[in-house]
Amino acid sequence: MKKKEGNYYISTAIAYASGKPHIGNTYEIILADAIARYKRQQGYQVYFQTGSDEHGQKIQLKAEAAGVDPKTYVDGIVSQIKGIWDRMNTSYDRFIRTTDADHEAAVRKIVKKMYDNDDIYLGHYEGMYCTDCESFFTPSQLVNGKCPDCGRDVHPAKEEAYFFRMSKYADRLIEYINSHPDFIRPVSRKNEMMNNFLLPGLQDLCISRTSFTWGIPVDFAPGHVIYVWLDALANYITGIGYDPEGSSDKFDRFWPADLHLIGKDIIRFHTIYWPIFLMALDLPLPKQVFGHPWLLQGGDKMSKSKGNVIYADDLADMFGVDAVRYFVLHEMPFDNDGTITWELLVERINSDLANILGNLVNRTISMTNKYFGGVVSNKNVCEEVDEDLKAVVTAAAAKVEEKMADLRVADALTEIFTVFRRLNKYIDETMPWALAKDEAKKDRLATVLYNLTEGITVGASLIAPFMPETSEKILAQLNTKVRDYADLDAFGLYPEGNKVTDTPQILFARQDLKEVLAKAEEIKAAQKAAYDAANPSSEALLAEKEEEKEEKPEEIHVEPKETAVYDDFAKLQFAVGEIIACEAVKKSKKLLCCQVKVGDQVRQILSGIRAWYSPEEMVGKKVMVLLNLAPRTMAGLTSEGMLLSAEDAEGNVSLMTPEKDMPSGSGIS
């Protein structure tokens, strides 16, 4: 393998300091850490930045409710965030806080530069305001009178504010995105931004506030504080030394960033607002923004009010840090939401980690001690099966490199475990215990155990960026070190005559599902009790109690229609479609206009589900589509099919989606 050279700058979104991050939030830092470690392994000089977003009205209100000043409040939350990041063994180079003095000073200069360049102007903002999202919305953007992003209550607000002239740079950004196809990944996020925001036209953006004080002051406007999103986004450059009056050598070395790794829910801020701010500062844009999917608890968003939040430190206490790292990295698809459940955790730990990996290492070391006193020697008594094993082991590094270049981290892990699976199969094929019974085959036995040790060394070296503690433990037991990246495609470099550990260590203990579920219930009960005690009259708690009353809804009476024969049904053509773009229909309060990919074609389908789904959450969904419905015109647009959905007695609608991940265009019968 050829080692890489050059600099590599990767960042995560900075965590909002309003509460302890759950495993879905923690996934992002683990993913970024795996990428950063892999780039270092390749030879890059890596700068990895993460941090905390600490200003805004929501923070001020939470601090007031807690009876402390905002800085004291965020200090406590940030200690929790950093604690979890460190517990998960993440190798960041800087944890930036938006309350850091260097950041605040640079942001004040950035806003002043924008003002001097006539990019911002004074006006008034009036609209419906969501405190949790710290965003204004027009009435038409609301969904059932609620915030379209988080679903919470909004309230009327009007205040003096400075606005950024977004339209001044919109055409330039559109051209940039069109000419840089890898700028926004995956492509579904790019389509969403172009079709839902940029192409319909950008509104000027509020970048200062006067209704609260917890923020960075605007130097030239007493009473104004800098809007939290401009403040937060600037961390990517202030953290490496950007200053409008003269930047640091670190900034010149690492900017533009190679990768902004963020959640799909904040893709708009990072691919529209942030690039435009950079254009206003006459700075290069980051090379790539990747909007990763969500990790859902059993297919649902995690909620403290539901008691279904899973925290990384609880998981690490139960299963170990690397087991948690492996699970979240392995289970997250490239562009669809992943699922975490206690049952799935146990299954993965027992099958992949305890059985495939842990058992392989344990058996190999035990047999080496039993038959050769722990000494590993290559007698080069080879058979045909050895060549196939060597081919799998030496090809793995290139396959991992290919997957990682495309940010398909789960697929890279799969390639590494292909090596471990092949080594297990090699044990079954060669049967070392049988060879040990024949003194004439002692050199063949030594060769087999050498090949196993060498294969494990390569596999353990490959897995180091993803499971660093496990890699270190394996290699220590084999009495060797991480293989240099340039040698990962070679076979036979394990030192001749080296001695493995006398007593192999169990890497991953098998988990008992019943015991794990019992512990999970204890965690859930404690979490729910703590939430109820802290929020006795909160809207979320009341909503939950209403949900409990409705756990057993009245049965729906189904009135049969006219009997249909099979030929009637056979006329209808159903297939799986993937929504690649979606936007609200301006002339309708009910309709969403979806671009649906069905096999090799894209259809425009209108659906009256706007009350239940936002355009953003539609993108990427696999849905059931009726294809051969006659086209019809609605709100001036043509619909070329129908999305199938279910409706309960209260009129709530849920799209019909395939149980398993089926390819777009798959027939439904």
pTM value? 0.79
In the Cβ-directed half-sphere of 401, how many Cα atoms lie within 13 Å?
A: 17
Structural domains of the chain ordered from first start: 7-297 (3.40.50.620), 335-499 (1.10.730.10), 566-668 (2.40.50.140)
Q: Residue 302: its pLDDT value, please? A: 67
pLDDT of residue 651: 67
Q: Is residue 451 within 8 Å of 426, Cβ to Cβ? A: yes
pLDDT band at 319 (very low <50, low <70, confident <90, very high): very high
Q: What is the 3-state secondary structure (H, E, C) of 127-150?
A: EEEECCCCEEECHHHCECCECCCC
Q: Does the CA dihedral 51-55-56-58 come out positive or negative?
A: positive
Span 84-117, pLDDT tens digits: 999 999 999 999 999 999 999 999 999 999 999 9
Residue 615 tokens, joined: 């355009």
Among candidates 316, 327, 329, which has minimal Cα distance to 351? 327
Structure tokens at 429: 């094929």
Give the confidence band of 442 by pLDDT, cuts at 50, 70, 90: very high
More confident residue, 579 or 11: 11
Per-residue burial over 148-167, b if 16 or more Cβ lie within 10 Å, else e, is bbeeeebeeeebebbbbbbe
φ, ψ dihedrals at 19, nearest 5°:
180, 170
- Ramachandran area for residue 430 (φ above 0: left; ψ -120 to 50: alpha; else beta): alpha
Residue 103: closest CA among 57, 58, 55, 69: 55
Give the tens place of pLDDT for each residue, 269-290.
999 999 999 999 999 999 999 9
**pLDDT class for 659, splitting at 50, 70, 90?**
confident
For residue 380, the tally of other CB atoms under 10 A from its CB is 12
**Looking at the predicted structure, is the pLDDT value of residue 580 above 60?**
yes
In the chain, the amino acid numbered 394 is: T
The string of DSSP codes covering 46-88 is EEEEEEEE--SHHHHHHHHHHTS-HHHHHHHHHHHHHHHHHHT
Question: For the segment 533-573, what is each residue's pLDDT rounded down to a tens digit?
Answer: 776 544 444 444 344 333 333 344 444 455 565 666 777 88
Q: Tokens standing for 380?
A: 């080069």
**% of residues, the chain, pLDDT over 90:** 67
Q: Per this entry, what is the length of the chain? A: 669
- Rounded-to-integer distance, Cα 113 and Cα 105, Å: 13
Task: Retrieve residue 328's tokens.
Answer: 């979240």
Count of other CB atoms within 10 angstroms of residue 292:
27
Is 90 exceeded by the pLDDT of residue 648? Answer: no
pLDDT of residue 159: 86
371-419 pLDDT per residue, tens: 999 999 999 999 999 999 999 999 999 999 999 999 999 999 999 999 9
Handedness of CA 515, 519, 520, 524 (dihedral sign): positive
For helices 23-42 and 312-319, the axis angle rounded to 10 degrees is 70
Mean of pLDDT values over 303-325: 89
What pLDDT does 601 receive?
83
DSSP 8-class letter at 95: E
Q: Does the pLDDT at position 303 exceed 70?
A: no
Predicted confidence at residue 543, as pLDDT, reads 45
Q: Convert the pLDDT of each residue in 7-56 to its tens digit.
A: 999 999 999 998 899 998 999 999 999 999 999 999 999 999 999 999 99
State how far the Cα of 97 lies from the Cα of 14, in Å rounded to an integer: 8
Residue-level pLDDT at 561:
53
pLDDT at 540: 46
